[in-house]
């Protein structure tokens, strides 16, 4: 009888523990990833852009936003801090330096993401508006791409 009680208590104690362990393991898989935002304005010079980025807020948090590769968009774009952990972030920037406004596909911003759990999270990006010198709206393409390690600083690479 004692043996049966002992076995039952072991089973009763093991099930929740293993469940909790599995959950904790899943939550503890946390990694950081840099994602680049590209705007392709084609033959037009790009002086302003506004995009909406969507992500699963239960897994992803934006922990940093910085500017892009060209001088005129070197500073971090404008955004609402409420969106960083809210699943929806609007990024926008403009320049009045028309001569140096980029053409074609340009990296205009970089976001640093904190991702929980395994697998690649779904990230959505949508152009709200873009303009060429003078303020005329233009059709542009936007896309996200994992940051290329060649364009990352030592700090971004993790101090290698």
Partner 1 sequence: MSEKLTTERHPDLMELEAARTGEATVAVRDHVKACPRCQEIIAELDMLAVDARVNRPAVMGTPSRADEAVFSVIEQRSQEIRWRYPKRRRFLTRPVWAAAAAIAVAVLTWSVLSPHRAMLPTIVKSVSYAGDVDRDGAVDIVDAYLMALRLESGIKTPENWDLNKDGAVDKQDIAVVTLAAVAVVEEA
Interface residues with partner 1 (CB under 8 A)? 47-50, 52, 78-80, 82-83, 86, 88-96, 126, 128-129, 131, 135, 137
By beta-carbon proximity to partner 1, the closer residue of 23 and 139 is 139
Report in angstroms how near the CB of residue 3 gets to partner 1 at its nearest.
56
CB count, 10 Å around CB of 18?
A: 10
Which residues fall within 8 angstroms of residue 42, CB to CB, at 6 or more apart? 103, 104, 138, 139, 140
By beta-carbon proximity to partner 1, the closer residue of 52 and 156 is 52
Report in angstroms how near the CB of residue 109 gets to partner 1 at its nearest.
12
Report in angstroms how near the CB of residue 139 gets to partner 1 at its nearest.
14
Q: Are residues 49 and 93 in contact, defined by beta-carbon separation less than 8 angstroms?
A: yes
Report in angstroms how near the CB of residue 72 gets to partner 1 at its nearest.
12
- The H or E element spanning position 106 is strand 105-116
By beta-carbon proximity to partner 1, the closer residue of 34 and 72 is 72
Q: Are residues 91 and 77 in contact, defined by beta-carbon separation less than 8 angstroms?
A: yes
Q: Are residues 136 and 46 in contact, defined by beta-carbon separation less than 8 angstroms?
A: no
By beta-carbon proximity to partner 1, the closer residue of 40 and 132 is 132
């Amino acid at each position: 009888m004692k043996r049966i009680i002992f076995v039952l208590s072991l089973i009763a104690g093991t099930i929740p523990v293993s469940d909790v362990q599995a959950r904790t393991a899943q939550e503890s898989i946390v990694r950081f990833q840099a994602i680049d935002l590209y705007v392709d304005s084609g033959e037009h010079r790009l002086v302003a852009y506004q995009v909406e980025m969507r992500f699963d807020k239960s897994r992803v948090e934006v922990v940093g936003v910085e500017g892009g590769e060209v001088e005129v968009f070197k500073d971090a774009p404008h955004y609402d801090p409420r969106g960083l952990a809210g699943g929806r972030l609007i990024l926008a920037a403009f320049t009045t330096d028309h001569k140096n406004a980029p053409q074609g596909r340009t990296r205009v911003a970089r976001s640093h993401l904190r991702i929980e759990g395994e697998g690649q999270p779904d990230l959505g990006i949508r152009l709200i508006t873009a303009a060429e010198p003078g303020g005329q709206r233009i059709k542009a393409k936007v896309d996200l791409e994992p940051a290329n390690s060649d364009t990352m600083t030592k700090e971004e690479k993790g101090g290698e």
